[in-house]
Amino acid sequence: MNPDVAAAVDRLGEEGVLTPAQARLFSRVARRELVSARLEVRAALYVGVLLLTGGIALFVKESHERIGPAAIGLAIGAAAAGCLAWAWRNSPPFSWGDALSTQAGFDYVLLLGALLVATDLAFLETQLGLLGENWPWHLLVVAALYGLLAYRFDSRMLLSLALASFAAWRGVSVNLSSVTLGTGDPARLRVEALACGVLFVAMGVALRRAGRKPHFDDVYVNAGLLLGFGGLLSGVFATLNWPTWTLALILVAGATAFIAFRTGRTLPFALAVVATWLGLQRWIFAGAKMDPSAALLLSAASAATALVFIVFARRRMRIL
């Protein structure tokens, strides 16, 4: 029970701000006479998908030689088709605007179907070697599949996976817990990350302007900025030519922060501030490497400056 809200609802009902029907419903919720189990249902569905895909992957790994690729491929394909057919039947018609299904299980049945198709494709490619030495192209096929499903069923979840798969095709890892862009030549990965970043941001902006799923643009822009800043920071911390990279980072982050400030977007603004601060640390610690105490003091001062900037910006920012 939330006694403060319950008392407020009673008062608002008596003063005529709320209609009797509104006051009754809000009061029931505040007094815990009506409780939503939506979060629990969604969490159970998501954990169910995790367990199912984990179990199927393990089964395929352990049994592919015993059962044979054709049977496994068919079985996974049939399960995926079942999920996607259900999603098709229960989805609202396609629209370039918002077209979210109101069914609690929809997102997860769709996710399960998409993951099973991707697993099936990867399995068949592994077993049959259809693409030969071009096998990484199956990541592009998976990205395209996720992208198509994301647009058809209005799913940001699948769009995120599409962008991550596309980046994976280019060899760039979208892993927030990792400090590297992937394995291989760092210079090539930096270029790939920057190119993916620019492409994603450009797609987000272009599609929003064209009115094609404009609500997807934050997924494109945030993914693009993550990759772009990741590429620039990699240049700052892993190259000899780091002053140029730092300058580039500051320019890009400054432009991002300015646009984010003007458009009231908090996450791009935060990414720009954090990336700039991280980039400046290279300068500070390189400049004061003989005196760690001075470097730490300067670094603390840079954090305090960032703090002042954030507080100043927040007061003036019109948040969407």
Considering only residues 268 through 287, tell me which ones interact with another protein, judged by CB under 8 A.
270, 273-274, 277
Examine residue 203 and tell whether it contacts another protein (CB under 8 A).
no
The 3-state secondary structure of 115-157, one letter per residue: HHHHHHHHHHHHHHCCCHHHCCHHHHHHHHHHHHHHHHHCCHH
Taking residues 54 to 93 in sequence order and writing x for each that binds another protein by CB under 8 A, - otherwise, the string is: xxxxxxxxxx------------------------------
Of residues 7, 74, 210, 251, which one binds another protein by CB under 8 A?
7
Examine residue 183 and tell whether it contacts another protein (CB under 8 A).
yes
Examine residue 314 and tell whether it contacts another protein (CB under 8 A).
yes
Residue closer to another protein, measured from CB, 68 or 136: 136
Closest approach, Cβ 33 to another protein, in A, equals 6
Q: Token pair for residue 61?
A: 């790994």
Calculated CA dihedral for residues 226, 202, 160, 82, nearest 10 degrees: -170
Q: Which range, of 126-134, 201-209, 228-236, 237-245, touches another protein by CB under 8 A?
A: 126-134
Instruction: Supply angle C-alpha 160, 164, 168, rounded to 5.
Output: 170
Nearest residue to 152 via CA among 202, 200, 85: 85
Closest approach, Cβ 252 to another protein, in A, equals 19
DSSP letters spanning 39-73 = HHHHHHHHHHHHHHHHHHHHHHHHHHHHH-HHHHH
Site for another protein, residues 9 to 28, rule: CB under 8 A: 11-12, 15, 17-18, 22, 25-26
Instruction: Supply angle C-alpha 147, 153, 157, rounded to 5.
Output: 60
- Which of helix, strand or coil describes residue 181? coil
Closest approach, Cβ 37 to another protein, in A, equals 5
Q: Which range, of 66-74, 104-112, 203-211, 233-241, touches another protein by CB under 8 A?
A: 104-112
Of residues 87, 113, 123, 225, which one binds another protein by CB under 8 A?
123
Q: Which residues contact 171 (CB under 8 A, 6 or more apart)?
A: 136, 182, 183, 184, 188, 189, 192
Closest approach, Cβ 259 to another protein, in A, equals 16
Closest approach, Cβ 156 to another protein, in A, equals 6
How far is it, in rounded angstroms, from Cα 215 to Cα 100?
A: 11
Residue closer to another protein, measured from CB, 15 or 244: 15
